Amino acid sequence: MPDDAKEPTTDYACAGERHFEDASYLHGDGRLLNADHLFGLAVECLMKGLLLQFGGTGGVSMTDRKNRSAKMPWWDNPATGDREPLLHIDQMCSALPLLVQGRPGPALDEALMRVSKDFEKWVVDDRYTDGTHIGSELLTRRQEAATLAHALHVHVQFTGKLP
Q: Half-sphere exposure (CA, 13 Å, Cβ side) for 132? A: 1
How does residue 29 score in pLDDT terms, banded at 50, 70 and 90? very high
pLDDT in the model for residue 2? 62
Q: Would the pLDDT of 137 be above 80? A: yes
pLDDT in the model for residue 88? 87
User: Residue 127: how many CB atoms within 10 A of its CB?
Assistant: 14
User: Residue 38: how many CB atoms within 10 A of its CB?
Assistant: 22
pTM > 0.85: yes or no: yes
Element of type H or E holding 84: strand 82-85
pLDDT in the model for residue 92? 84
